[in-house]
Chain A
Amino acid sequence: MASPDDTKKYIEDLKKKIRREVKTSPSLSEDLPENNIYNYLNKAEQYARIGVDVPSFNRLSAPRRAAYRWATKFLFKVLKVITINQRQYNLSVLDTFRININDHNSLKLRSAAAKTQFDTRISELELNLKQQNIEICELKKVVDYLKYSLTQLGQKINDIYGNVFKGAEKVSRSELQNLAGEINHDLDSLYVFLEDNFRGSREEIKKRLHVYLPIIKKANIGLKNSPILDIGCGRGEWLELLGENNLNAKGLDLNKVMVKMCRELGLNVIESEALSFLKNLSDCSLGAVTGFHLIEHNGFEFLIKLLVEILRVLKPGGLVIFETPNPGNVLVGSCNFYIDPTHFKPLPSPLIKLVLESCGFNDVNIIYLHPYEDVFKIKNDYSETSKRFNDCFYGPQDYVAIGYKK
């Protein structure tokens, strides 16, 4: 049963249903008797004409009949003369009424027809517009993909040209290795395309990340001496948000296309592998390390090594934030997790909590995020079964693990 909070939507849906039913069924009002104004006019005309026709007096005997008829005719003739102007006036007024009503009715009909045509045309135009908007969206996605591919191609060509000008014999072993390594980046642009299609738009992701700002601000980090490092920064939504809040942050990513995109947005991003980057940092040099949809891309051993390094480089009071898909949601764990082909294994939240604690992090907290909207859930049923079903299938799609260095 709908709750009071849904009242507006409930009423709108009901009205749509009624309108659809009225549109599809024949107009009931056509069956209603016509407006009776013509009856009034006819009656009025009758009264206006009284005295013009002489009554027949059929009930009287013939001689009397003739006399009465003669007398009545004479009387009417006299009255006709007296009332001629009034009667003419009355009949003229009635005629004028009749003409006006006719004009009004025909105007009504014409305007109704015009309205119908107008409504039909508007509906057609709206449908066309909707279709065109869908096509434009699809085209836009393809154009974006082509842009990323071109960016990557451009980068490759620059590198090749650079090496050609140096002279083939002067190309170092490492440079050759770099070139070969380009093969590993062939899928970078495709990966950006997948992000755009399945992760969500930059705006949506940025909106979701707002929830972490109070945690950062409460820990009093992001200042010059306690910068934030975002590992696997991707399209740079988090870095952008931190920047807008005057917090000192930089990002790491291995995807060349994403790194270029971020730099074009003015974000401080380094193309580097995380573990090797961290190993080059001094102890207690960072305020926070964050990784959004990072840890599920790597194996368990890598995760442990990463956490050890993160603990070392964090200042006391610093924190780590890892957001990752929640396999506790059956749809995520069995299907949606695998939409990203670079995902390795789903990581249950109790495991991550335990791992963080055993690596030395304190006050480890798991927060579940991004449940499905109510429209997906079974509603109007408060039974235990429905509740559990909704929790398992339409509950939080992600969770975040937050741990602190003492």
Chain B
Amino acid sequence: MTHIAICTPEISYGDAVSSDVLGMFNILNEQNLKVGIFAENILIKDKTIKNIDFISDFIKYRKDLIIYHHSAGWFKGLNLLTSLDCKKIIKYHGVTPPDYFYGFSRDHVETCKGGIEQLNIIANLDLEMYLNDSRFDMVEMISKGAKASKCFIVPPFNNIGRLKGLKPDFFILEKYNGKEVNILSVGRVAPNKGFIELIDAFALYNKYFNKESRLIIVGDKHPRLSAYIDFLYDRVRYIGFDNSIVFTGKVNDEQLKSYFLIAKIFALTSHHEGFCLPLVEAMSMKIPVIAYGSTAVADTIGDGGIVWGDLDINLIASTINEVVTSEDVYFFLGEAGWRRYKNNFTNKIIKEIFLSVIGKYL
């Protein structure tokens, strides 16, 4: 029987790549295949997940398969990828360009640079298949040298079903569910996420349209990006919105669910995304989505929300107002987003796409 090893540099809770890894594992397991997860940094308590150093005990034959998840520089992973003699499929999640991190975190610059260099190498290895989270990622993969005939779009597996069943954190519901309009954004607090523009757009909305509003940014504040985080806090203080803008930091799934439940609008002004899973999570809950359509964002949202081609904070602020004040628009957009999710991003659909694409290697 073919052994399938799913490899990733790190596996943790609340991370989109990890969700995809676990999703793939569950699907392949359901098919009664011999599958294992291998990672260098294991932050999930699960005995079945093994350290990457043990992969050669699992992948022994040429017919065995590695599904290698690439989203950042990972030297150990790349070495194994090039040295192991077996079938190889890449799952590409996009690499954030290092430019965003200059002046904020040298570590991040190096990791991103590494990611891009390794992308060049991986694309030219002419492996069995290159699966990409989005059209944007696929185009990037092809531009780096991968054969178009070997490239496919397979959206990442998600945890929406699990989120749906969870009990929300009632403390957050009681604290934030009130007369204020809550505008939510979810994503790591990192320079490529465009939070400065989001903060400014929210400030305009609050000042000119609705003083009873709140911006909630849910995302991990990594210590190595403290310079950027301070930069954001300074901006918030400088424009005088300390009380209306909330940075939650890392949250657990119950808390994340609560934030989605109290959100009237989901806003995204990110400059670079490989897919953006929080968009899909928001759409699945009928939360109207308003976004700047950079990189893969427009692909992910499709006609499930309002996407602007330019990052104009006046437009973002006005759009929020238009959606919040018109009941018909609000509900219509919510339903449009849900339909986008239902027709394209349920795990059932992704499973069908995934299995049909990699079927011949199973």
Contact = CB atoms under 8 A, between A and B. Distances in A.
B118 to A, nearest CB: 33
Interface string B200-212: 1001100110000
A14 interface: yes
A31 to B, nearest CB: 7
Interface string A9-45: 0110011011101100001110111001001000000
A358 interface: no
A32 B332 CA distance: 32
Contacts of A4: 335-336, 339
Nearest to B328: A1
Interface stretch (B7-15, B43-51, B187-195, B317-325): B317-325
Contact of B239 (A10, A15, A28, A32): A32
A29 B328 contact: no
A7 interface: yes
B333 to A, nearest CB: 8
Contacts of A32: 200, 203-204, 239
Contacts of B328: 1
A8 B313 contact: no
Contact of B303 (A1, A8, A31, A39): A8
Nearest to B309: A15
B54 interface: no
Interface in A81-96: none
Interface of A is mostly: helix
B322 A29 contact: no
A301 to B, nearest CB: 58
A28 B239 CA distance: 14
Q: Taking chain B's interface residues, is the majority helix, strand, or loop, or is none over half, making it mixed?
A: helix
B315 A18 contact: yes
Contacts of B234: 36
A112 to B, nearest CB: 12
A14 B332 CA distance: 11
A14 B314 contact: no
B303 A28 contact: no
A39 B238 CA distance: 10
A29 B200 contact: yes
B207 A31 contact: yes
A180 interface: no
Contacts of A27: 314
B329 interface: yes
A2 interface: yes
A87 B216 CA distance: 42
Contacts of B207: 28, 31
Interface in B223-253: 234-235, 238-239
Interface string B296-320: 0000000101101000111101110
Contact of A28 (B208, B305, B306, B329): B208
B317 A28 contact: yes
A27 to B, nearest CB: 6
Given A1-B328, A2-B332, A4-B335, A29 B204 contact: yes
Interface string B174-195: 0000000000000000000000
Nearest to B343: A4
B314 A7 contact: no
B200 A10 contact: no
A145 to B, nearest CB: 44
Interface of A: 1-2, 4, 7-8, 10-11, 14-15, 17-19, 21-22, 27-29, 31-33, 36, 39
17 contacts: A1-B332, A2-B332, A7-B303, A7-B339, A11-B303, A15-B306, A15-B308, A17-B322, A18-B322, A19-B315, A22-B318, A28-B314, A29-B204, A29-B314, A32-B203, A32-B239, A33-B238
Interface of B: 200, 203-204, 207-208, 234-235, 238-239, 303, 305-306, 308, 312-315, 317-319, 322, 328-329, 332-333, 335-336, 339
Given A15-B308, A29-B313, 7 more contacts: A8-B303, A11-B333, A15-B319, A28-B314, A29-B204, A29-B314, A31-B207
The 6 closest A-B pairs by CB, nearest first: A28-B204, A7-B303, A8-B303, A7-B336, A36-B238, A22-B314
